[in-house]
Structure formats: C-alpha cells, structure tokens
Structure 1
C-alpha cells in the first residue's frame, strides 16, 4: 500500500476533488448525499492492504488488484468496515451490482478510464491544493467575523456561514447566548451527527468554563466547522470580556430621586422601567429568575456589589437601574432554581449593614413575562430592606411575609401622609402613645388582650388609647381601611 500524502489537519470534500481539472477523468458511480470528507489517499496493490487504511481515506484499486470483478465488491466491504470514504476502481471492473452494493454501504464509488497509479499522483496534488483552499476559506471567514461588534453579532455571522445553524454560548452548562439566523429547511444538512451531535469548542475564560456550540453545519463539512469555530474562539473571548466590562460600566449608579432630594429611600418608589429591564434581557435562557439589588447609596456599595456578583455569576451582567441593579440568571445546567437564592444569600448577606436589599423573582419560562418578573424582584427587594442587624436582606417574592408590608410606605413619606390623612391624630400631644397602641392592636387582628400583652400594659389602658384614636378619626374597625391604616401607622411608628 502506498499512502499518497500525510494526513493533514484540514480535510476536504470529496466533491472538491472529483470536480477538479486534475481529476477530470473520474466518474462518480455513487456518491452519498451528505458531504464526504477526505483526509488521505491509499493506492492498493493487494486487497488485504485495505484493512490498514485510516478513516476518511480514498481507496484506489490498482489495475492489477481490480482484475477480478469480485475484488471491487470486497474492497467496498473492507472500506465500509474501515470507514474509508470512497473506493476508486478502473471503469471496466465495475458492474451495476457493484454500484448497488456501494449504495447500500453508503461508500462513494468512483471509476476512471486512466491508469489508477498515474491518477493517484494527480489526486494527491489536487488534495494538497484543496487543503490550501480550506485554509484560505477559514482565513477569509476569520477576516469577516473580526468585524463583529458584539457576541450576538458574531453568533449571527457564524449562523449564516453554516446555513442558519444554531449557535450557543454555554457557561458552566448554562446557555447564556442562543442564536439561529433561520430555521433550517428540509434540504439543509445538519452535520455528521445531526442536531444530536453538536460541535463544541472550549472558550478559555478563567474560573468558569465556557463553550462555543454549533448545532448543525449547513452544507459545510464538520471538519471545516470545527476549524472555523476554533478560529472564532479568540474573537468570542475578547467580545465576551468587552461585553462584561460594558455591563459593569453601564451599571454604574445613575442619578436618582434619592440623590436629588437627599433621601435614602424615596428613590426606591419607582419600579424599573421597561427599557432598563430590556437592556439586560439578552442573557435570558429558556428559564430564568430575575434578581433585583436596591441600595440606599449605590455609589458607595457598587464596588462591593460587583465583586460579590462576579464571584457567583461572572457570566451574567448587572444592568443599572435607579438605586440599584437588575440581573437575569438562567436556571439551567448548574444553576438550579434554588441555587440562585442560596448563592445570593451567601454573598449579599455581607452587604446588609451597608444598606442593600436583594429580591429574587419566581422562575419564568418566557420573555413575555419579563416585566412581571422584574416587578416581583423589585418588590421583594423593597421588602428586603434591613432595619435591624439580624434581619435578612435577601427575600424571594413567593416568601414575602405580611409583617413586612409596611415597608412599602417609605418612612420619610409616612409622617407626611399621616399628617395629611389624620391631621387630628398627628397634632395630638399623645400621638406617639396612640399610634404605639394602634399598630399592635391591628397586628393582633383586633385582639385587645393579645395587643396589651405585646405592649406590656393593662388592657384598660390600651382600650383608652384605642378609643382616643377613634375620636381622632382613625378607622380601626373598618375592614376596607384597616390594612392601609395598619401599613401607614406601622411606617410612622417605624420612623420613630
């Protein structure tokens, strides 16, 4: 057996060889419909030599070996076992039965009227030329994708190169970018392994493992796709780092109402806008949970917040909103639904004393639920605002306790609202005692005995103060107003 060339790192397509000028005397009697890769050529002078050929090799049967018609059939079977890509034989040695066998085995069958030994030299030359062409094609592709400005734009270019195939970035098993230029049509080949056998190339980026994934290759060969993806990795890596840096810059504290009026809490009244939410929505996966971080002074705790967030989720950017940040964490792969809450509590418990509350929304599975998810996380973050050293500053929306609802009324607004709604109460010299009696009474659901026990006073004393509240216009028994009164007075009491 004579190997016509050393196996190279670039395979070429069989069709590129058969359609070349140097191989113009070749006839394809059968050729598989999907792209067929060629890595090597082997000129066979003895039929047993086929058992030594490597995969993706064209087996060239010399005129001497092909003298017996059955030899071509035997060569096809050996080629199939060795995963050779094609058998080339003299035209006179091939029959229709031989062609049918090639079709059943899905091994390309080529014939020629030339001397096979002489033809092998021409094919070896053409294989080298074709390999150079693949290298040039990869380089041209690299020159094109270097113009991409964002990871999404780069994914779009790769998808187009491979017939609308799906391109993904997976970080620690979580899909953080998922793009397909178009749905593959029925005539587009999806690669050697189809959708179930994607091409995966590692993207080195430090402590977390990232992968560039191509699902389908269009009409391109898998070999070319692998080379193209490896060439795209450095570009993807730089764009991912640039995207992360831009996310940090974009999340720097914005001027808020709190900054303008000197209040540490009033700026928390407005839920994040649709625009703010959509800025960070590019990381959405099939399932996700929204995390909202609110801070009294974002400029003071921003560095700490970013340091903690990068420790747990470096691949998920923080998006700046007034008085805090939003993040959309995909819940797939290593990041399970409950893992997010555990991670956030482990990290952000450290910044509670600095004045930061963190809310986590319920898991969502559709981008159309984005704003609802943002509102949940924002409301939970409002509830999570710590007032005492041991209070948690991380709350899930689904677990907001009713005892925290008074936090919806900012303390600095509570006094002004109470003075407007209950002027007689707030103008009374004993307003502090009356409010201190009314709030436990409402918390105890109207039980005088329980409220008196909570306050450590006699029930008669409590009843006297409650009657005085009623005289001053505070509705403690109207079921339509009792919740709002409770929330307002609790906020006034909390403000001290």
Structure 2
C-alpha cells in the first residue's frame, strides 16, 4: 500500500479555512499541515482499524455513546496515522479531550450538526480539490483589491493561504514586508518566487512564498503570488509618487526656511514657523546640520532620480528625522540640546552603513547652532564637509570643525580636475600599478616631500616609498620642482579622491 498521499490532496488547514471544517470547532490549533486524501464515516470502533493513513475519520452519532468512546476512537485513529478526527458535539468534550489530542498530535473537530453530512461534504471537497482552490483564489483576489500597502497585501497571503509563509524580498535579500523567516529557508521547505515589477516595468523585488512540508500545490501558490503582483506594483508606484511629491514639497519648504527675511517674500508669504509646523519639522532650539552626498564623485543618477530610494531607506533607518533633497545631495538636521557633533557622527556613520540605500552615501556634519539663523549656517557647513567626504567609502562622515584648510579642497571641482589630470599624467596612469603610484604621490606631497612621514601614513617601509618615487620619476614627473608641485598635488588629490 502506498502510504504517501498525493500532492493534489488538500490539507487539514485548507479544509478548515475554505472547506467543510470551517463550520466546526477545533480542540487544538496545531498539526493542520497533514494532507487528507481519504474520508471515512465510522459507526464502530473496529472500522477505524481498517482506515488508510491520512484519513479524515468522522465519527457517526451511533458511535459516540460518551466521551470515553470519542477518546478511544482518537487513540485508534492515531495508531492508523489519521489526518484528523471529526466528532459530533457531546457533553463532556472539553479540556481533557483537547489535552489528549495534543499528546496524540491529531487534530480533533467538533461538529454541532449531523456528522454524516459533514463526512459527505468532506468527501465532495476531497474528490474535487480544484473547486476549493478556486474558492481560495477568488477570496485572495477580493482581499488584494481591498488592500493598498505592501504589508497589508502580504498579510492576506500569510493569513488566508494555508501552510504558506510569504515575504517581499529586495534584490539584495532584505525582507521589505511579510515574514522575515522566509529569507532563511528551512529543511524540507519548498519556495515559490515571483518577480514584482516596479514603476519602470523592471523587476525591483520578489514575492517569495515558503511552503513547508506538505503544503498546497506550488501552482496554486504561484497563481496567488501573481495575483498579488498587480496591487503590489500599484502600491509601489503610489508610494514612489508620494515620496516624489513630499520630497518636492519639502525642498520648496526648506528653500523658504533657508532664505533670509529680506528675500523670503519671493518664495512664500508663509512665516517660517508655519512652513515648518505644516511639515512637522522642529526648527526652534539647538540643532546640528547634516548633509548627505553620493560617495563617489563619478557621474551617475541625479539627486531627483535617487531621492525616492534614498528617502525610503533613510526613513527605515532614522525614522521621522527630516531628509530633504537639495541640488547636490540631501539635507537633514538633528536636535542637539545635549549632543555634540561627534556624537551625531558616530550614530550617523553606523546608520549610513546599515542603510539599504540605492547608492553608497557619505555625510558632512556642521557645528551645533541655535534657532533658524544658526540652522542655516550649520547646514551650509555640513554641505561643505560632505564635499570633503565625497570619494571616501560609504558611511564616511566628515566634521566641519575638523576640516581646517581642507575646507578649500572641499570646494574644488574634483571631477573636472580629475579629467584634466588624466590628460596631464597620461603616461603615469598607463602603468599597471598607477593607483599605488598616485596614492604614494599624494601622500608624499601631503607631507611636504617627507618620505618617512608618507611611509608611516601608507603603512610601508621608507625604502618602498623611495622606490615608488623613482618609478614616478621614470614616467616624466618631477616631484621636486616648486613651480609644478601645487598643480601636481591637486592632480594627485583629484585622482585619489575619485578612485573607487
């Protein structure tokens, strides 16, 4: 005898959600993942001994003389590896019977009506499982149409589809909504994955459903996920539109706040306090300005294109702290009643590393300042500091207070300088080890020509630096000519800053 039920069979869970068992009372809520390929209506205990494994055993009224008979039937059903037991309602069926069901790991259902009719209904559902699955699909389609957010749509799948855990997973494996355990597939589980299109029609995430053990048919789950893709794509598009609208509105509002009183009329008739209050911004008191930039200075997507993804990642990491798009990056400000810029730097740097931003970000931090006038200055300082941070690894944070003379370098057009340096130093850049040579050249010039200090900065022996300088000179570069040292220093700085 083949003891393995067909995967076409329905589970106990499916029969509870959408089948005849929906009108019964379950004594326990566990072990509903069993497949049910057979149903048997028994009027004598000995008939249970001949039941096939995975059978739904339905007790006839004539058998249930008392609770003892029901519990005896449960033990016999357990011996035959029954999927579940259905019994007529009897006085005395309660906690003790439920404890026995839990020990036997056998679901028991109590039906108030005719158990024979319940058996007929079960047989009809088991014989035609497609009808029950069609009912499940219709139910999910209706609920999807009533939901507007990703979490709500995933909630429908996780609540309504028996034996399934689902999540919306980004391309880098981050769970955006749904159950985080789906990202860690367990032994014996099966997964169904469907791509979710973004506003541009390209896949931006995946709907992943994990079907544990003997769950519903994978085709049914796949169809449900495809049904969910349409409202999910609509929800993503709506969220993106809202982010774009809110970011544009926030940018215009920040223009008002950062414009001094004599020129503010050209932007808005609203008072700064009214503008800030409308957006929920706190601009009174002591604040620290923060400015984010893309880590690389190479040409890439502009701020407007990147804003929805950056703002969304920022909100997940930093909550409701403002982030407003500007011409070269994104501005923010943090309360600083009892905090120094260094305290903000540590928290911000860790957050930028953790953020699931579409691009790597660096940041600059201004000095703490009072009231709106001080906030304007602090944000300007943060913007300059962020320019100095650009070219570093993602998560790097520069403090304006520590820039010193490097503030001048932060204002340089690094990309333009680098393009000029590529022409002027073409012979050097053709070398296979040009990155090492450029880094060494920059270090030597940073330390006024001291090879010892440059070696300490680079973590190599002084003789290594001397050897590299000889190779640099071999490419026609004279590091000792005073009239060329400034231009050479700027060229090395620009190339080293732009290098990935």
TM score, norm. by length of structure 2: 0.39
TM score, norm. by length of structure 1: 0.39
Max radius of gyration: which structure? 1
